[in-house]
Amino acid sequence: MRFSVFVALLLGVLNVSSLVQAHVDINVVACQTGDVDPEDEKGLDGDELFYIDFAKGEVVSRTPEFIGQWGAPGWVDQARTHQQVCKNNLDVAVKAENSPTEEIDPPEVTVYPRNKVLPGRSNILICFANNFFPAPVKVRWTKNDVEVTEGVTLSRYYPNKDFTFTQYSTIPFTPQEGDVYSCSVEHKGLPEPYTRLWDGYFHHMQNECRYSSEDLTDLEFISRYIFNKVEYARYNSTSNKFTGYTEHGVKNADRANREGENAQQHTNLDGYCRPNAQRYFKNILWHTVEPSVEVSSVKPFSQRHPMMLACSAYDFYPAGIKLTWLRDGKEVKTDVTSTEELYDVDWYHQIHSYLEFTPKSGETIACKVEHSSLSEAKIYPWDPSVSAGDRNKVIIGASGLVLGLILSLAGLIYYKKKSTGEVLNYLPLHCVILPWENPRTNKLNSVISQLSSGEQLCGTQLRGPTSSFMILAVIFLTFIFNFKHR
């Protein structure tokens, strides 16, 4: 029996991202009105290193085996303190910004399989919720209209550049004829909630160590204070200043600079960013995993051309790849569509590029791949004999969409490496922004000592904005197989 598979991804067709970016080591501390869903997580270049399970009081490592486990002693206590700071800043910001209208952006949802879809071959479906605010989303999966919970995972949420978030959910599946899967995402911005999420405001802090090269000459520590999706204050180690972006932010930034809080923040550059960056270069950033690439014939998206080829690259690390189509050695730019780099949630990535074309006899078509794991570009020619005669088809259709949620799935392990057992420096508590309304609380040190001794600084319960409505999105996946024995 021989078959080829057709996969149509109806959502998420976007541009190719660029090759190399600066490194960003990020710590996100988030809190909300009503003290729900506290978050403290650490990531590197968009991949998740670990997060804090506040209920269990432990650090949960999210690194794949080829990276090894990373410890962070002291981080749990630190995270609890950061939560107090976050909640204090939230309460202060709600008052100082006069209880603004709550920002709500519903998610956009994309569903894609982790691996190439083959009938009967176990696989993973990933439901990717993007560009939503506030976090988090909830995700529910059904198979043939029956809810499935077994094996379902939900990732933490990660910030985008515009302070919206992304989140992933995964479910194991084995493609079988006629099965229909759906991923429902719930969010404040979506109608028809089946569970209540929460009312209230969202505040978060992003502590970032940014650098582009191993010598760390451009190392920068940035600490952002974001309320209701608006960055109201930022500390920047290069200028060694706080800068405010709203009235509330400006007042606090001026005060912090006056009181020498900027100098304290600056110690994070060498006490926190630098040692961790050195560890990342030594243990993580040198890793590359070569993509596994396949060029195959698929059903065209449009009527423009009779044929379409897909160039699929799976299982590469890190992100940042370039696929180019070559026709008789010359680069083709027209009639090319590509997905974004899709995250597999386990530190690996995948991408798909499509070329629609009208075949000419005697020509050669190839997919050129450039990635940091390859010392030079690698060419994958299309072999027409391989995909001759599509006898079996899998169609993955996605319909509906809107809203976000995340799931994450722990890893498929391809490379066994010993655990490095690295220990990270944690961020000292230098990130308090105090209410400017009350000069008597403007004594930073006393606040820090209160916080350090575990005292509740911010017991004020705030009422949330009136209605929270939710959004529900459903994605259907349909798999259709037509087997023919040859």
CB of 238 to ligand NAG, least distance (A): 4
Separation of CA 125 from chain center:
16
Using CB under 6 A as the binding rule, whether residue 222 contacts ligand NAG is answered as yes
Comparing CB distances to ligand NAG, the nearer of 236 and 257 is 236
DSSP sequence for 434-475: --SS-GGG--HHHHHHHHHTT--S-----PPPS----EEEEE
Helix H segments across 131-235?
none
Q: What is the dihedral of CA 322, 325, 326, 331, to 10 degrees?
A: -70
CB of 412 to ligand NAG, least distance (A): 35
Comparing CB distances to ligand NAG, the nearer of 131 and 240 is 240
Q: For residues 25 and 90, what is the distance between their CA atoms, to the nearest angstrom?
A: 24
Residues 225-254 that bind ligand NAG (CB under 6 A): 236, 238-239
Using CB under 6 A as the binding rule, whether residue 21 contacts ligand NAG is answered as no
Q: How many residues interact with ligand NAG (rule CB under 6 A)?
A: 5
CB of 343 to ligand NAG, least distance (A): 24
CB of 29 to ligand NAG, least distance (A): 18
* 153 residue type, one letter: T
The Cβ of residue 301 has, within 10 Å, a number of other Cβ atoms equal to: 15
Comparing CB distances to ligand NAG, the nearer of 239 and 399 is 239
Q: For residues 275 and 263, what is the distance between their CA atoms, to the nearest angstrom?
A: 19
Tally of residues, the chain = 486
Using CB under 6 A as the binding rule, whether residue 104 contacts ligand NAG is answered as no
CB of 241 to ligand NAG, least distance (A): 8
Comparing CB distances to ligand NAG, the nearer of 253 and 472 is 253
Cβ-Cβ contacts under 8 Å for 271 (sequence gap 6 or more): 425, 428
DSSP annotation of 317: B
Comparing CB distances to ligand NAG, the nearer of 265 and 353 is 265
Comparing CB distances to ligand NAG, the nearer of 143 and 274 is 274
CB of 337 to ligand NAG, least distance (A): 33
Q: Is 99 within 8 Å of 471 (Cβ atoms)?
A: no
Per CB under 6 A, residues contacting ligand NAG are: 220, 222, 236, 238-239
